[in-house]
Amino acid sequence: VRSALDLAQATTELAKATGLSGRELEALKAQAIKVESETGKSAASIMDMMTSSSKAGVATKDLAADLMLTSKTAVAFGMETDAAAQVMSEMRGSFFSGQDFATQQAGLQGMAQMMSYVADNGASSEMYLANFTARSAGLEKVMHASKESIVAVGATFEAIGIPAEVASRAMNTAQTSIAKLAGDSEKLKTLGLDPAAFKESVNKDVIGAMLDVVKQTEKLDDISRTAMLTNIFGQGFADDMVRVGGAQAIYAQNLALANDKTKQAASFEAAYKLQMEGVNASVERATNGFKTMMGMAIGPFLKAAADAAAPFIDSMKDKLNELAESGKLQEWADKASKIIKKVFAIA
């Protein structure tokens, strides 16, 4: 009953966000129920995902297609559906704003595949990279950092143990600092960097240029180095920059992974399959556990009776699925909800 009420509420919210009603709304609900059966994510959370996508600018006609990619990413990355929807919306708005839906979807899929491959082959996780990348997506617009370098430096931050929210704040601060430094010839010369070459480096790979700056400060004594890094990146992030600057080899490895497009799609599919096997195994364990419990509790006679009832139960399940897809089940749930509310109002 609770699941039906949650789905009814989620359906209402989607109707408000999209203006849909009738068959179109029922079709999306049926799609959500289907995805629930395939992924283990609740239909209500999937409807909420579509509401988030609609509010983020996805056209109503594209919601079903967006649902498939976002729900698959949620499963592959081990994320809750609302968190996955938020990440995808942020990346859509930052990386692919102004592009048509098909181009956006292809870009988002490519990002998901890249993060999966980097995570699988480095010391990072898909969830961390998704959160970091969504928070740091502005680096591409403001400083022209490539998507690959953003994912790579995120994986580097995780490898050295810096939380995603701290790392993203550090990077957003660093982008302003590097932009100022590019115009400070005297400071660059103090670091042993050629001003013209540094500006070119910033335009080519701003994150690589940032790491070069940190590397160059190693030539200074400890006090001077701390003062220089604090002056460039601010006191709050100077230590983090030292740590990530000392991990240039890790960054280079992660960047190579991010730029290797030949195996990224297969990595994402493998992650999705692995997570789905876990979902299916959990369902099977629960089912087997229930069967064992029933056998121990009611004995062979009643167990045989329960087995005999299995076809009827399967038939009922199929009928309920048909009712759900036709909208009748939701209609009954809505009526039940109204009755319950009236009862409590009287009480």
Q: What is the pLDDT of residues 186-214, one digit of tens each?
A: 999 989 999 999 998 888 888 888 888 99
The pLDDT score that the predictor gives to residue 131 is 94
Whole-model pTM: value is: 0.72
pLDDT at residue 248 is higher than 60? yes
The pLDDT score that the predictor gives to residue 344 is 57
Q: Is 24 exposed, middle or buried (0-12, 13-18, 19+ CB in 10 A)?
A: middle
The pLDDT score that the predictor gives to residue 246 is 86
The pLDDT score that the predictor gives to residue 257 is 96
Asked if residues 29 and 50 have their Cβ atoms less than 8 Å apart, the reply is: no
Phi then psi for residue 46, to 5 deg, are: -70, -40
| The dihedral sign for the CA sequence 141, 143, 148, 154 | negative
Tell me the C-alpha distance between 189 and 266, whole Å. Answer: 46
